[in-house]
Structure 1
Amino acid sequence: MTPPKPRMAELRSRAEAASAHLPGLILSAERLAAMVAPGAHGLRRAGPGEDFWQYRPAAQGDSARAIDWRRSARSDAQFVRDREAQTAQAVAIWVSGGQGMDFAGGPGRPTKAARARLLALALAMVLLRGGEKVGLLGQPARAGRVQGDRIAEALVTAAPVAGDDDQPDADALRPNQRLVLIGDFLERPDWLPPLLARASAMGVRGAMMQLLDPDEEAFPYAGAVVFRSLSGRLSHDSRDAQGLRAAYLQRLAERRDWLSAQAAGAGWHFGHHATDHAPAVALEWLYQVLGG
């Protein structure tokens, strides 16, 4: 049976509620982005650019102007100072829309979804200021300041997913782009190995970030606790929550080891971040590994 479509008033109410958060998200992301110095990423080969790449022996065809005479004076050969080729790259960002991302373990803490949106938008702003083309996965990657506003609006107006978890659309991958995946990865993502295999075949490289609430990191529960997923699909009634802690922490460590191994096998990077830690650290890491 096909579920009924949301009413127009319902859609308008959702859009208005989302729009109310838009200015705050943009301002917070701009402040966070200002902590990272933007710049075009190098291609790890000689070519047009500003950064030093390597010295190489002068060859036939190199002009006298290309010779680095200071370096050459230290030996009997002549050397040319190569710069590293730089170019704008297309970057796609995916933020999990699963209902599990709406969890916050305590008052005053941001939800995982709110932190993920902040990191995604701040990263987009840094990349855009460096001349990169950026977009959410499945949407056009464009350059320019206006694109940051488009990404911000898309982040806050994205339709919620019915389940606790979701997955990126592998059909949205484009050859040779960079891809960033941000989610909690608490449900085993069996979709990840085939996605990474497809990405590798297309020359897509990128980074995955597991984003958790401090309570999901430390499991500080004791006594009788009912654990229920935000979608209501999963529930577990425990009489001794503290007795579950060791097993939970072991499974979390195993999940991270698995995610790290999947990323490394595809030439990707894996990192994790808790919402009680400074977002600037996570942003700096994401920006740096995209250039690797």
Structure 2
Amino acid sequence: MAIARDIVAETPNDLAAKARIQSAKLPDLLIEARHIANTLVSGFHGRRKRGTGDNFWQFRPYVEGEPVSRIDWRRSARDDHIYLRDREWAAAQTVWILPDQSASMHYQSRFSPIAKDSYAMLMALTLCDLFARSGERVAVPGLMAPTSSRNAAEEMALNFAALKEPYEYGHFLDINHHSHMIILSDFLDDPEEIRKKFASLTSANVTQHFVEICDPAEERFPYHGRVEFFDPETRQHYLAGRSETFHDAYLRLYQARRQSLTDFAKISGSSYHIAPTDKKMSTVILALAAMVGQASGYRRG
């Protein structure tokens, strides 16, 4: 639900216009995503695990019983120790990235420098660029097939720019088993409906990472006096004469919804992250990168 003063109802044409505006922002968001990715890349370790592959990772001391063929004799000749040459683990994972662009995501209060949909898209493009650089395959459900191209972020931006209406997540028929899915949304729907929507992914061994994009006004409810509230999803209006009287009840419901989804994430083996639009997204991005990079027990999907 959007929270703001003097909001007017938006028609489908209004939402289509916003979709076109968001598409026009994509080149700038892509540039900013590249800038963020370049800043974070030194702290992003990707898939650096020991295993079979072509890229050198490290030298380590030989342990009795290991294959002699893996000994690096040139390195071992430098001192009195025998060293093995380890290669970096080469199996790629598929990471599905889902930036919700539905009506409630258009919201931006005076406390935030960016709307929720733009923040979600910026984070999605940054994650796409980082994962593609590390050799993972990235995709968008229903929009972009898995790709390991170094230009994956540009491909994602082009796919979103070609949309005629806002992108909303729905069915996940194209999601392959044993992959990761990062969902960037405000999760303002009924928590029970959200749990039902993603339950099928849990049974398919898809590791889910929920990132709640929230405007600071949604977390604080900083309103006083006469305020009209409008829900862009249901198109309902409510005019509050003394909006401050709803402050405590609203915050209880807001936090209960968040706790319900956090509990669902824990039970299903997923992760849950909070990303306020007035804060830098680097902490959440690095946390997601670490979780995907350290994942094990999956197969190439």
TM-score by length of structure 2 reads 0.76
| 1:237-252 alignment, distance < 5 Å | 237-252=239-254
Q: Which residue of 1 aligns with 2:5?
A: none
Query: Aligned partner of 1:149: which letter?
Result: E
Q: Which residue of 2 aligns with 1:184?
A: 186
Match of 1:111 among 109, 115, 130: 115
Confirm or deny: 8 A CA contact 2:275 2:284 kept in the other structure: yes
Query: Distance between the aligned counterparts of 2:72 and 2:196, measured in 1?
Result: 47
Confirm or deny: 8 A CA contact 1:40 1:86 kept in the other structure: no
Query: Distance between the aligned counterparts of 1:15 and 1:210, measured in 2?
Result: 21
Q: Which residue of 2 aligns with 1:206?
A: 208
Match of 2:229 among 207, 222, 227: 227
Query: Distance between the aligned counterparts of 2:282 and 2:190, measured in 1?
Result: 27
User: Shift of residue 168 of structure 1?
Assistant: 3.3
Further displaced range: 89-98 or 78-87: 78-87
Cα pair distance change 1:245/1:19, threshold 3 Å: closer
Query: Aligned partner of 1:121: which letter?
Result: L
User: Shift of residue 120 of structure 1?
Assistant: 0.2
- Answering whether residue 160 of structure 2 is matched by residue 155 of structure 1, we say yes
Per-residue Cα deviation, 1:76-135 (whole angstroms, up to 9, x for no partner): xx9989777342211111111210000001177211001000000011011111111112
User: Shift of residue 245 of structure 1?
Assistant: 1.1
User: Shift of residue 195 of structure 1?
Assistant: 4.2
Cα pair distance change 1:201/1:15, threshold 3 Å: closer
Confirm or deny: 8 A CA contact 1:97 1:161 kept in the other structure: yes
Match of 2:261 among 256, 259, 262: 259
Cα pair distance change 1:55/1:206, threshold 3 Å: farther
Q: Which residue of 1 aligns with 2:287?
A: 285
Confirm or deny: 8 A CA contact 1:47 1:83 kept in the other structure: yes
TM-score by length of structure 1 reads 0.79
Q: Which residue of 2 aligns with 1:124?
A: 128
Q: Number of matched residues?
A: 275
Query: Distance between the aligned counterparts of 2:98 and 2:157, measured in 1?
Result: 13
User: Shift of residue 172 of structure 1?
Assistant: 2.6
The sequence identity of aligned pairs, in percent, is 23
Q: Which residue of 1 aligns with 2:172?
A: 170
Q: Which runs of 5+ in 1 are unaligned?
A: 1-5
Confirm or deny: 8 A CA contact 1:88 1:132 kept in the other structure: yes
Confirm or deny: 8 A CA contact 1:58 1:80 kept in the other structure: no
Confirm or deny: 8 A CA contact 2:229 2:237 kept in the other structure: yes
Alignment RMSD (CA, Å): 3.5
Query: Aligned partner of 1:148: which letter?
Result: A
Confirm or deny: 8 A CA contact 1:40 1:87 kept in the other structure: no
- Answering whether residue 65 of structure 2 is matched by residue 59 of structure 1, we say yes
User: Shift of residue 160 of structure 1?
Assistant: 3.6
Per-residue Cα deviation, 1:229-252 (whole angstroms, up to 9, x for no partner): 235612222222111111111112
Query: Distance between the aligned counterparts of 1:29 and 1:158, measured in 2?
Result: 20
Confirm or deny: 8 A CA contact 2:209 2:271 kept in the other structure: yes
Higher relative contact order (CA 8 A, sep 6+): 2
Match of 1:25 among 14, 22, 29: 29
User: Shift of residue 169 of structure 1?
Assistant: 1.8
Query: Distance between the aligned counterparts of 1:136 and 1:83, measured in 2?
Result: 30
User: Shift of residue 277 of structure 1?
Assistant: 0.5
